[in-house]
Amino acid sequence: MRILFLTPEYVTEKYFDGGLANYIYRIAKELSKNYHVEIIVSSDQTEIIKHDGLEVYRVGLKAYEKIVMSFINFLTRGKIAPTLKYIFYSRRMYKFYKMLEPFDVIQSSNYGFPGYFIFKKEKRPLIKKIARASSYAPAWRSATGDGNNFNEVLNNYLEVRLMRSADKCYSPSQFVQQLYLMNESLKLDVIRTPIAEKEVETDSSVYDEKLGHIGKYVLYFGSISVSKGLDQLGDILPDIIEKNPDIKVVLVGKVALKSANEDLVEYLKNKISKFETHVIYLEKLKHNQLYPIIDHAHGVFFLSRVDNIPNACLEAISMDKLILAPNSASFNEMLSEKNAMLYKQADMNDLKDCFEKFWTMNDREKKKVVDQLTINSNEYKMNTVISKLESYYKGDF
């Protein structure tokens, strides 16, 4: 069986954001043990490379396409620039795809709709077209308070059109599954994201230099954005710091903008007095550098307004960490009140109380909670996920 993945981000690229890129890398690598797997990824250049035994086609835009795109952006005053870029990359992927031998399965992310033109134009009945829903964009925008401008409406239209032209669609969570059913009347299957195995070789240099001397700390790692709820720290931490002057909060990841002129870390600095004393920010790290930081953390917290079985939470579970998270947004599909600290979504008082208990929990109390941290059945194990995908691709699921 020949399998092709289409994605706007992958681990070979400089600026990938993590979740989707790592998911495809891990799944493709596992599937390649029994099948022929190839990947087409949006890139800044066009070349064919071998990466960990996988054939990766890095597809960049041609010079004339960049000129045309710039001209359209000039005419539209940049109002559709993000979506226009995805359209041009999707079109370029289709042109590249036509040069390849036929595949049995083509899988595209809905995010960035890389398979839009391929799914639309590929009519051969024996080629199965699969779409995986990384998110439901309107819900994410609603959670961050963003409006529905034309760019965002167009982006969502193209993401949904891609999914409607697929033979099958799936999501990692029932949360996103229900969003598509209620808002788009699209029926998605659920195939979980597998828990990542901890890398054997780790690099403790960043931990030793930045955190080894600070003692106890709680950790967040992932995208530092409003959709991930990190702005809420500005509301709860001042009171918690006043009661617990020894608290240390470590944030690791890529920072998003809070507003046009301010990123989220700058926003928190303005909201939290003595920010540098209590909050340590580290830029995005490689996984082998991140694992020692997770290992030494008192606990790991997540504040997402919306999410879709985040890899970071699965990693924290696999490393037996005390976890603080909301009681919705797909976290309740991985965690329960017995094995984690779940707060009521959008209830700032409950979040503040839970965060303080999270920090002050002693080792005996923490062990009692963590000892029950076994994820639901086998559905998140790699061999289970791969088995389901194999059946899915063959039409038996």
| pLDDT of res. 123 | 94
Residue 146 phi, psi (nearest 5): -80, 145
Closest CA to 303 of 326, 281, 280: 326
CA–CA gap between residue 285 and residue 199 (Å, rounded): 14
pTM of the predicted model over 0.85 = yes
Binned at pLDDT 50, 70 and 90, residue 17 comes out as: low
- Short-list 179, 175, 211, 168, CA closest to 192: 175
User: Sheet containing 218-221: which strands, arranged edge to edge?
Assistant: 279-282, 249-252, 218-221, 299-301, 323-326, 341-343
What separation in angstroms does the CA of 75 have from each of 70, 72, 79, 186? 9, 5, 9, 35
pLDDT tens per residue across span 184-236: 999 999 999 998 776 668 999 999 999 999 999 999 999 999 999 999 999 99
Angle at 197 between CA 194 and CA 202, to 5 degrees: 145
- CATH architecture designation of domain 2-194+381-394: 3-Layer(aba) Sandwich (3.40)
Tell me the C-alpha distance between 332 and 343, whole Å.
Answer: 11
What pLDDT does 257 receive? Answer: 80
User: Alpha-carbon distance 134 to 170, whole Å?
Assistant: 9
**Residues 296-317: pLDDT tens digits?**
999 999 999 999 999 899 999 9
Q: Which amino acid is at 230?
A: L
Q: Check if the beta carbon of residue 312 is closer than 8 Å to that of residue 221.
A: yes
In angstroms, the CA 46 to CA 101 distance is 18
- For the ranges 15-19, 124-128, 288-292, 347-351, the lowest mean pLDDT is seen at 15-19
Distance CA 134, CA 21 (A): 11
CATH topology identical between 2-194+381-394 and 204-377: yes
Q: Where are the domains of the chain?
A: 2-194+381-394, 204-377
% of the chain residues with pLDDT over 90:
85
In this structure, which topology does domain 204-377 adopt according to CATH?
Rossmann fold (3.40.50)
What lies within 8 Å, CB to CB, of 54 at 6+ separation is 28, 29, 32, 37, 38, 39
Q: Is the per-residue pLDDT at 154 higher than 60?
A: yes
Instruction: Give the integer Cα–Cα distance in Å for 296 and 109.
Output: 34
- Nearest CA to 339 out of 355, 325, 356 is that of 325
3-class secondary structure, 92: helix
CA atoms within 13 A on the CB side of 348: 12
Task: Give the tens place of pLDDT for each residue, 173-185.
Answer: 999 999 999 999 9
Query: For residue 305, which of 200, 204, 396, 230 has the smallest C-alpha distance?
Result: 230
* Average pLDDT score over the chain: 94
Q: How many CB atoms lie within 10 A of CB 62?
A: 12
